[in-house]
Chain A
């Protein structure tokens, strides 16, 4: 017995891989901090209404609600039509260029709404090349003819539809590809035509995924500030800005944000519900290559046009225009100031992306090692920010940060006679915090998916082969996770680069990023001058498009995914 104990000596008491409670506490802490802005906004529901709020209610509030609703309705119909039809065409039919369309249909995702909006305005307004051409050809003058006004609600619907349909396309395509060919073949043997098979089997099966895509697109619509502001449409986001900056009433802005949150909540519930249902819509596990319908004649031409049009209008035309403008305005970007702008954007986005991925890793491991209702809920709450408009998050951060700054400042002045000024609000800290709140979900999803590839039995296998827990982390987890971590970094980085409203509200005085600069120049009607900054954002935006299309082509059922 003595000798047996001696051989055990010292090495044993450590129980196992799992460490007590530590992860849970950290996970909860992160979730708590990240949900602070949302809680602040919700708290304002109970704050008594101010003068400004009553004024808003009597005058513009109805416009905000109605316009936001019409915008969502229009964009919703638009993205469904384009997204589902193109997804069906490229996944179930065969026609020339189908493989190229598969990824090219994602390209408009690289185009932020406000950039496409002012590009089209530059092309289509009275002084733009299109109308000038018409006048030159016909000899008409001002007022002699009718031309659609791009700076309108329907214009905004068109712009947002063009850049947001990829969400629906992406998810419904994945759903179509996931469907076991068996169910479609069964429907054929039961006498359904291909069209009836689509309508009665494929579409209902894909419905949860389609609705998820739709709710994501609508969240983006609701969150959009640049497009509606540029077109002068009063919606929730522009209203919050007006109340915040114009009327200088943070309380009323927060209450407006709270009202907007009810819309967001509806969308979140819709998305969660349809995601849950999607699990029950999985058919059999046997997949075979989809036999595609070979299109001929008019059907083929129709399919080509249907796939080509969104790409041309949503990406090719605006980016060509931007390139042309950027070529004409070399003085805007062939200068050190532009480099400073790029440096600001890149360094800010990089810092926030690293932080977001770091937090995601902690939370994902927390959930894996100490999976409980608490950690799962914490992870879900921390990932909620993707649904919350940047404007709302910014307001929710400004209020508590300003309060902390004021409290510290007055305390320091009273006791030591020193003014500390702004410590948090109006600094990069606030901005980085906002980005983490808004985009944590992006990195969290990617990191969790990566971690999911490491089965618990791999940990056990490495342990039984003589590796201590730290060695397992280093030799098994790190190499497998590397790709996912890199992807998460890139996705968050690009999202931050494109982000506009929160940056506008929270940026330090005189601190400019590419997005802010592009938007400001465009708002000053210096469209051509803004093109270089916009172009930089679009180019960066192509990176995630490439990443996403690569992931999809790899994860197709029936193909094993190499790590």
Chain B
């Protein structure tokens, strides 16, 4: 029998570890009930952003999509509306990050990226809700609530990410 050995690097291991943390955070949030349905801190986005700063966009996309698929499989929600919502949010926020990574680093830090990603995330989800799940205008009423949550949690996650990155940099110096 021939065993194919896939060559993995240290970096691969790091990314895998981070993806595992993201999945864990995602699942913890999925299990803990939220006071307003649909409003969640999105702590997994801290990991996503961290990966973007440390390993680049390709790794970020992997971690983010892997998280959506793995958590929905583990929670038994694969291909359910919840899964579709998470995927549409993740895809749109990746798109926002892809655009935002070109912003001048001198002026825009993790906080900007985090807020933009949070808005894109909720935007993607609301778009899907409006087009597919609840196709009437009633959703509009909820937009300001979700936007406030996106701004608040985006800011919080951005600050945490900024802290993580600066700690990492200090350690490596």
User: Are chains A and B native binding partners rather than an unrelated pairing?
Assistant: no
